[in-house]
Amino acid sequence: MSDSELVADGIRGRLICGLQPVREAIRAHGPKLERIVVESETDALQLQALARFARDQGIRVERQPRAYLDHMARGVRHQGAIAWAPALALTALEELALGPSTLIVALDEVQDPQNFGAVVRSAVALGATAVMWPEHRSAPLTPSMFRASAGGIEHATLCRVASLTAALDYLRSRDVCVIGLDMDGPYAIDSVDLKSEACLVVGAEGKGLRKTIKSRCDSLARLPMSGPLGSLNASVAVAIGLYEAVRQRG
């Protein structure tokens, strides 16, 4: 069983919690969803609409008391809706489709599931090719991470690698420009060419990029900030970097 799967109430699958995450799971997987449960002790219009949407896709919907959902969600905020989805598909590094429009996000030991999920959300929203991270010292794929992605995890291309340094070396050998986001970088992000294939690398909040990762970057770019704070969390930095790439690619 992978780190994103569990067995609950006789159902094996990947637990998803929350209105938006469940809605995106329905869009992405349709009748492949094992089961959807909505709270029975409320007539909230959003839950009614979600149940109709699921049934229209041929998905079994159950109504259960809130206590049941609380027990299954194990502390993850569920908003009255949970679902069991197929296991996430991970794409091998060598199987990523690389070309002129490639835009990869790489995470260097980002261990906070909220940050990890928010990065995935931004990556999907802004059209990144894939999200890549090392298998060690990274946040696991869990219901809290899925919820933080607001359903983006269901649409993302995910690439977990044994070694991030080796993966960046591979990308550079395939003509992908590797750009590290670093608060002390010599170049402002808007002065870096992001029009062709690129990989944006971000480190964990408070730590930044490791020296070994910086040495694999073709350039280090900073995000210009005029306020009193000197850094941003990983998800915000990624969103700004991706937006700059989208702006340049017009």
Residue 203 and residue 232 in contact, taking contact as beta carbons nearer than 8 Å: no
Structure-token pair, residue 187: 């170049």
Domain 93-249: CATH superfamily, name plus number: SPOUT methyltransferase, trefoil knot domain (3.40.1280.10)
Q: What does the pLDDT read at residue 228?
A: 58
* Confidence (pLDDT) at 6: 46
Give me the pLDDT at residue 190, please: 93
pLDDT of residue 177: 97
| Strand positions, DSSP E, the chain | 6-8, 11-17, 35-39, 61-64, 81-85, 103-108, 130-134, 158-161, 177-181, 187-188, 198-203, 219-222
Q: What's the pLDDT at 250?
A: 87
Predicted pLDDT of residue 2? 45
pLDDT value for 1: 36
Cα separation of the two ends of the chain: 43
Where do we find the tokens 């949970």?
A: 82
* Predicted pLDDT of residue 230: 57
pLDDT at 226: 62
Structure tokens at 204: 């964990």
- CA proximity to 203, closest of 103, 130, 110, 137: 110
Task: Give DSSP secondary structure letters for 33-85.
Answer: --EEEEESS---HHHHHHHHHHHHTT--EEEE-HHHHHHHHTTS--TTEEEEE
Count the neighbouring beta carbons within 10 Å of the beta carbon of residue 184: 8
Give residue 13's pLDDT: 81
Q: Please, what is the Cα angle at 227 between 225 and 233, to 5 degrees? A: 65
Contact between 35 and 60 (Cβ < 8 Å) = yes
**CB contact at 8 A, 157 and 123:** no
d(CA 233, CA 223): 12
Give me the CATH code for the 6-85 domain, please: 3.30.1330.30
* Residue ranges in the chain modelled with pLDDT below 50: 1-10
Q: Which residue has the tokens 């690129």?
A: 198
Q: Pairing state of beta strands 35-39 and 187-188? A: unpaired
| Residues forming beta bridges with residue 63, ordered by sequence position | 38
The amino acid at residue 160 is R
Going by their DSSP bridges, the two strands 130-134 and 158-161 should be labelled as parallel
Residue entry with tokens 């291309």: 157
Q: Where are the domains of the chain?
A: 6-85, 93-249
Residue 152 backbone phi and psi in degrees, to 5: -60, -30
Amino acid 51: pLDDT: 96
The reported pTM is 0.91
Quick one: tokens of 248? Answer: 């340049």
